[in-house]
Amino acid sequence: MLEALSERLGAIFARLRSRGRLTESDVGEVLREVRIALLEADVNLAVTKDFVARIRERAVGTEVLTSLTPAQSVIKIVHDELVTLLGGANARLQFADAPPTVIMLVGLQGSGKTTQAGKLALRLKEGGRRSLLVAADVYRPAAITQLQTLGKQIDVPVYDEGAGDPVKIAEHGVAEARRLGIPTVIVDTAGRLQIDDDLMRELERMRAAVSPTEILLVADSMTGQEATNVAKGFNDRLGITGVILTKLDGDTRGGAALSIHHVTGAPIKFVGVGEKLAALEPFHPERLASRILGMGDVLTLIEKTQAVYSEEQARELATKLRTQDFTLDDFLGQLRQVRKMGSMGELLKMIPGMSRALPKDMEIDEGELSKIEAIICSMTLRERGNPSILNGSRRKRIALGSGTQVSDVNRLVKQFDASRQMMKQFTGGKRGRRFPMESYG
């Protein structure tokens, strides 16, 4: 996500920091490089020009150029302007004063509207708000079936009539939600391969019929500037209230994220960061700006941690580490919890400064984590609790059971033992009472 842009800006500002004092020409040189970096990231040309002009206006002032840390002042200005470009503040969903709240999802065919409808319904459900999904895409044969499948997976009701007038289906869906006392309706609308008049007229009729509180455009960030053009087209005809930007975790240059709000005035409200139904996150402009500039994203990391760890679990883990009772079984549990939070590479980049500290070509092999999990799972509980009993025959059995080599088992045990020795040094060698595990096989 925006990796190339982050690397380019990081290199530019690294050179900037090496200069004690800055002149107006220094700032001009930096901004020319920033402009090129943004254009290479597929940011809209008009957006890029306006962004650079605003930075120049603020950065060439006497207060910045004569400050003790002019480079840091310029970087802060760039950060602030990036936050503004991305929408300024986190934009929340709006709910109607009198339920049901109607949320229309619109977008081109293939943008992922149906999937995002399921993700949004799950997110609202986890927040304690019930939803009714309405299958109003009667043109794509698999759309209704897909929505029904998603509804079953997340235990959210789906209203559909099969074929028929999408506008009437949406109207009837809202009436059904009102009858059932369901406070939120998410309408999955039809898309086209491109914006056309027939599609827009149908969506305009639907908007008039169901009076949505939110009209959210689902845009594929992989399409770059085309996503911006699509957003403008939908906004001109429908007046979108927000954007769900999908595939922001993929190999995308980021131009859509940095352009859409400026072009449409509509905030990005959610971003899709994976294929799983839980992979929909609120969009925080200040956090993304910090990540682009290599400053990390500690708040998101904390939120991800809190989602998989309770306070009691954290206390229990701390006690085990402190008393040297941390076993391979505990390690397996921690590994599984961490993997729920996302890829290790993405998690590391959320730590301030880590994106610059890590080698550019460094790739964390998620397959290695699966291998470690398989090895530990092939051990008995007794072996996990006391790896010192792992003789040659046991290691051979574990390797065979996990589909790995004996050398892989040896490496894991050696690394785990080294980590325990390190923890022992940190905690002064204190140990807690161990429970006998001889009863386990």
d(CA 260, CA 56) in angstroms, rounded, equals 22
For residues 165-174, one letter each, b for 16 or more C-beta atoms within 10 angstroms of the residue's C-beta and e for the rest, the string is ebbebbbbbb
Sign of CA dihedral 126, 127, 131, 134: negative
In this predicted model, what pLDDT tens digit does every residue of 74-108 receive, in sequence order?
888 888 888 898 888 888 899 999 889 999 999 98
Is 140's pLDDT higher than 80? Answer: yes
Residue 212 burial (10 A CB sphere; 0-12, 13-18, 19+): buried
Give Cα separations from 251 to 144, 312, 316, 362 (angstroms): 30, 38, 38, 16
217 beta partners = 106, 243
Is 266's pLDDT higher than 80? Answer: yes
Amino acid 317: pLDDT: 60
d(CA 182, CA 370) in angstroms, rounded, equals 42
Amino acid 86: pLDDT: 87
159 membership: H or E segment, kind and range? strand 158-159
Round the CA-based radius of gyration of the chain to a whole number and report it: 26
Q: Which domains does the chain have, with CATH numbers?
A: 3-85 (1.20.120.140), 101-293 (3.40.50.300), 301-426 (1.10.260.30)
Amino acid 440: pLDDT: 35
Residue 249 pLDDT grade (very low, low, confident, very high; cuts 50, 70, 90): low
> Measuring CA to CA, which residue among 380, 365, 373 is closest to residue 337?
373
For residues 190-203, one letter each, b for 16 or more C-beta atoms within 10 angstroms of the residue's C-beta and e for the rest, the string is bbeeebeeebbebb
Q: Are 252 and 220 in contact (CB under 8 A)?
A: no
In this predicted model, what pLDDT tens digit does every residue of 181-240 receive, in sequence order?
999 999 999 888 778 888 899 999 999 999 999 999 998 887 777 888 888 989 999 999
